Amino acid sequence: MVLIGLAANFFVFGVESATIAMPSVEIITALVLSAVMLLINHTWLMTTTELTRLKYNMHATPEEWAASKYGKDDVSQEGVQELERRHNAHNNATENTVHFVLLSLLVCIVSPAALMAQVWFLSFAIGRLGHTFSYLSGRDGLRGIFMSVSLISLYGLSSYLLLSLVVSTHP
């Protein structure tokens, strides 16, 4: 995955020496679209988690459990597993998004090729949406593919940053 991101940057997008500057409109547009898709993903995860709690009569806080006619012992094993699936998907999304935010903000200010930023930003967001769909629907093979898409995007962003520090476009 590292080599795919590295090769795409070097041979497809081209790497320019890092020059700190305001990002172009094309790059900001790609970042905004990615952010909206990631917000949709987050909302999807939050909503499905709450719907799973409702479906299986589970609660999030001790106060909610105390006010309920159900106890933790009343929850089926299936309910526990489905809630755990959603929590794991949410944690995974959050962990990956932290790296995306840091890398994408750095990429924005090093004057990258707009196409590179657009591809890696949008691929990451699409990868995360696909990962969520696959995770929640129990499609492990598809989940692995979408996980790879988002990881290649992260490696693409990070390798571009590293290459931009060592590549000189000046004579």
Q: What per-residue confidence (pLDDT) applies to 169? A: 59
Predicted confidence (pLDDT) per residue in 4-43, tens digit: 998 898 889 988 888 888 999 999 999 999 999 999 999 9
Crossing angle of helices 114-137 and 77-109, in 10° steps, is 180
Q: What per-residue confidence (pLDDT) applies to 72? A: 87
Token pair of 40 as six digits: 């949709």
Residues 6+ apart with CB under 8 A from 87: 49
Enumerate residue ranges in the chain where pLDDT < 70.
Answer: 169-171
What DSSP string runs through the chain?
A: -HHHHHHIIIIII--------PPPHHHHHHHHHHHHHHHHHHHHHHHHHHHHHHHTT--SSHHHHHHSS--GGGS-HHHHHHHHHHHHHHHHHHHHHHHHHHHHHHHHHT---HHHHHHHHHHHHHHHHHHHHHHHHT-HHHHHHHHHHHHHHHHHHHHHHHHHHH-----
Radius of gyration of the chain (CA): 20
Measured from the Cβ of residue 138, the count of other Cβ atoms closer than 10 Å reads: 10
Answer whether 0.95 is exceeded by the pTM: no
Tokens 């547009």, located at residue: 29
